[in-house]
Structure formats: C-alpha cells, structure tokens
Amino acid sequence: MQAHIYDIDFKAAAEEEKLTRHDVMAHVHVFAKLCPLAAPIIHLGATSCFVGDNTDLIILRDGLDILQYKIAAVIQNLAIFCEEFKSVPALGFTHLQPAQLTTVGKRATLWLFDLLMDERALRRAKEDLRFRSTKGTTGTQASFLQLFNGDGEKVKALDKRVAELSGFNNTYPVTGQTYTRKVDVEVISVLASLGSTIHKMCSDLRLLANMKEIEEPFEKSQIGSSAMPYKRNPMRSERCCALARHLISLFSNAANTHAVQWMERTLDDSANRRLTLAEAFLTADAALITLTNITQGLVVYPQVIQRRINQELPFMSAENIIMAMVKKGGDRQVCHEKIRVLSQEAGNQVKIFGKENDLLDRVRADPYFAPIFGDLDKILDPYTYIGRAPEQVTEFLESEVKPVLELYDISKITKPVNLTI
C-alpha cells in the first residue's frame, strides 16, 4: 500500500465509477488491484465520509492557510500606503456628500481595519477546525469497536492517532456520518465576509477614480474602452467587486445545505459542497491576488484632492470664522446670519451658474469681517481640519497592524503580483 500510494490510475477509477456509481468505492477497487495482499482489509470499518470528509477538512485547513498569506500581503501593501499618505488632507464624505476633512491615509485605514478583522477570522476558522477521524458509519464508532473486540480505549486511541497523522490536534467529539455542515457554514461565512470587505474597498476606489483622486495601476498600453480611447476604467477594482459579489452569495448555499441535513446525514449536500467550497476558495484567492496588485500600485493625485478641498472648505470654515469673530468681540448670532446669507449666495454661484465657490471673496468684501482679515489664511489651512488623523494612522499601524504582520514570514508576502489577464 505504501509503495503504490501515489500510483493513482484516474482513468481506471473513472471507468470503475461508471459501474459502481460510487466515487470512493471506485478508487478502493482500483487501489485494491495494485495491492492484492491488502485488498481484503482496505477500507475495513470505514465509510466513504471517512475518506471524503477528512480530506475536505485537510483541504479547508490548507486553503485557509494560503488565503491568510494572501490577505497578509494586501495588509502590508495598505499599511505602507497609509503611512505614506497619513498627513495628506482629503475631503471626507458622509452620505457621499462633502463632509469634514480626513486624510488619504486615514481613509485607507478604514479598509485596512476591515482586512484585519478578516485576517483574524481566517486565522480563527483554521484554528477551530478539527478532524472527523474514525467515527464510523453513523458516528458511533461501532465498526471500529467491533474490530478492536470491544476495547473502547483502542478506538479512542485510533481516532486520536489518525487525526495527529493528518496534522490535527483535535477531533470533533460527536458526528453523524459526516462532520456537521455547520463547519462549512463557519468557513464560508468568513470568506463571504472577506468578500464584503473587498467589495466595499474596491467600490470606494471606483468612486475615487471617478473623482480622479486615486487610481489603480494602469499600464502604458492598457486600453480603457474600445470606443472611448481617453477612458481609464478601474477594471481591476470592478473585477474584485464582481468576484466579491459571487463570494458573498455562496454563504446562502452553505447555510441552506446545513439546514437540510436530516438526522445523521443526507446526500443532497454532496453536489452542492463540491461547487460551493471550491468556488469560495478559488473566488477569494482570485480576488485577493487582484487586490494585491491594486494595492501595490495605487496612484494618488494630490492636486486634484486639493482642488476639491478648495471648493468645499469655504463652507466648512464657516464655524471657524464665527468663532474667530467672536474672539474679536463680535456677536455670534449676527455673525451666523451674515455667514448664512453669504453662503447661500456663494452656493447659488456654484449650483446655478456653475462657477467656483466665492464665499471667501464675499467675506473679504464685507467690512463686518475686517477684524479677522489677517487670520483667514490660517483659518483656511486644511491641516487645521484633519484633527488627529495622522496620529491615529501612526498609532493604528503600530498597535494593530504590526502585531498581525509579525505572525507571517514577510519573505512570502512581498513578491510583486503582475496581472496579465
């Protein structure tokens, strides 16, 4: 058996399966022909789920390990980005309407924190996995108890040893014929949650690309549109969103499959799981590879960002202007009314006539505001509107991101990813 463990005749197994209509037994028969002395005891006491379920658990474990390194690569790229742009002011948005300023790096920490949650969830899901091991046909271990002549301790020892040889420290204490499909629900939920993170981040990038503030990598010879040669479509981010939506949708398959597993098991899980589990991991893998490429080459346009700040900052400065006037002896209510009127007039210039925001010109032209004319430049300095954003980024990277990246071999996550499709 040891000598022929890798001599798998898939063609012969496929022909055998046509006859038996059973994938595991087809391989048992083909393997038995290679090992005639062992043929009488191959699969003795086992069920097909001893083969299939235990194998699935190994694959789930190894798949989660692969994805952990992929997500670590994205985390590292974003951490570098956050540090580089932590002090670059940018217009914030709530309800997709202009709001108080943030910074380019601070906004990126919002994506990064979600990814840290996903990394933690992937790590926990892998750590929580156990092995089905030798539980028998309906989970009672009856066949193995018979093989060991009623010695329950030997049955328990076998269960533990098979798990250890397969790289698991623990086994599921109770099972039916299968390990509970709730395990699949937990794993797929983690991947679906990752999908929501990727979709949110890449949607933001697509919006920022529309604003011409940040762009994903765009090659010299890349074509954005077959009809409109000037276009620079965010196709990588769009691809991530497409993959992420599919990934999110797979959760319902896992949950519904678990919900209909009658008693010790039914077989309507099998075909569904072969699609759902494979697609979930392949989809997450493809999305993370694409996201790694995106985060390696994000392009920021500070002048565009500054222009947008200049368009909105006059309105945002209204409260600071009022406070400055009060400090100079002005009446808060009078000042508020004057600013309100001037703001409405400036707003009409922007919305009705398509002109630039001229609120500050109106303030400078009103003698009432003469006491603060010399302070207006300071009042309008964008850096006075970003709060502790730069410090928040620094503290976040040090306290939250660094400990996570230290869990990984950096040499495995620093390779550049070039997409050719």
**Tokens at 267, concatenated:** 């077989």
Residues 275 and 341 in one domain: no
> Rounded to the nearest 10 degrees, what angle do helices 182-210 and 235-259 cross at?
160
- Taking CB atoms within 8 Å and a gap of at least 24, the contacts of 290-293 are 290/236, 290/239, 290/240, 290/243, 290/419, 291/74, 291/198, 291/201, 291/202, 291/240, 292/70, 292/73, 292/74, 292/77, 292/417, 293/217, 293/236, 293/417, 293/418, 293/419
- Taking CB atoms within 8 Å and a gap of at least 24, the contacts of 396-402 are 396/82, 396/109, 396/112, 396/113, 397/79, 397/82, 397/83, 400/113, 400/116, 401/75, 401/79, 401/112, 401/116
| Structure-derived torsion over alpha carbons of residues 80, 85, 87, 89, reported in degrees to the nearest 10 | -150
- Which letter does DSSP use for residue 284 in this model? H
Residues 198 and 95 in one domain: yes
Looking at the domain assignment, is residue 292 inside a domain? yes
Give, for 103, the enclosing helix (H) or strand (E): strand 97-103
Residues 198 and 346 in one domain: no
- Does this model's pTM top 0.75? My answer is yes
Does residue 130 register a pLDDT over 60? yes
Residues 198 and 223 in one domain: yes
Number of domains, the chain: 3
Q: What is the pLDDT of residues 201-259, one digit of tens each?
A: 999 999 999 999 999 986 655 545 545 545 578 899 999 999 999 999 999 999 999 99
Looking at the domain assignment, is residue 262 inside a domain? yes
CA-wise closest residue to 404 among 109, 107, 73, 111: 73
Alpha-helix runs per DSSP H in 269-411: 270-296, 302-316, 318-327, 332-351, 359-365, 376-379, 389-396, 402-405
Residues 279 and 331 in one domain: no
Can you tell me which residue has the tokens 């009042």? 379
Q: What is the pLDDT of residues 159-187, one digit of tens each?
A: 999 999 999 999 999 999 899 999 999 99
CA distances from 394 to 114, 403, 404 (A): 17, 14, 15
Q: What is the pLDDT of residues 338-353, one digit of tens each?
A: 888 988 888 888 888 8
Q: What is the pLDDT of residues 73-122, one digit of tens each?
A: 999 999 999 999 999 999 999 999 888 899 999 999 999 999 999 999 99
Residues 11 and 69 in one domain: no
Looking at the domain assignment, is residue 371 inside a domain? yes
Residues 98 and 185 in one domain: yes
Looking at the domain assignment, is residue 70 inside a domain? yes
Looking at the domain assignment, is residue 210 inside a domain? yes
For the annotated catalytic residues, the residue numbers are 95, 225
CA-wise closest residue to 243 among 299, 285, 301, 292: 285
Residues 114 and 7 in one domain: no
In the chain, the largest separation of any two C-alpha atoms, in whole Å, equals: 105
What pLDDT shows up at residue 420? 52
Rounded Cα distance between 239 and 206, Å, is 11
Rounded Cα distance between 286 and 283, Å, is 5
Query: Looking at residue 118, which CATH number applies to its domain?
Result: 1.20.200.10
Q: How far is CA 144 from the centre of its chain?
A: 43
Rounded Cα distance between 418 and 289, Å, is 9
Interval 400-405 mean pLDDT: 95
Rounded Cα distance between 201 and 298, Å, is 13
Residues 101 and 186 in one domain: yes
Query: Which structural domain range is residue 374 located in?
Result: 318-379
Give, for 99, the enclosing helix (H) or strand (E): strand 97-103
Query: Looking at residue 21, which CATH number applies to its domain?
Result: 1.10.275.10
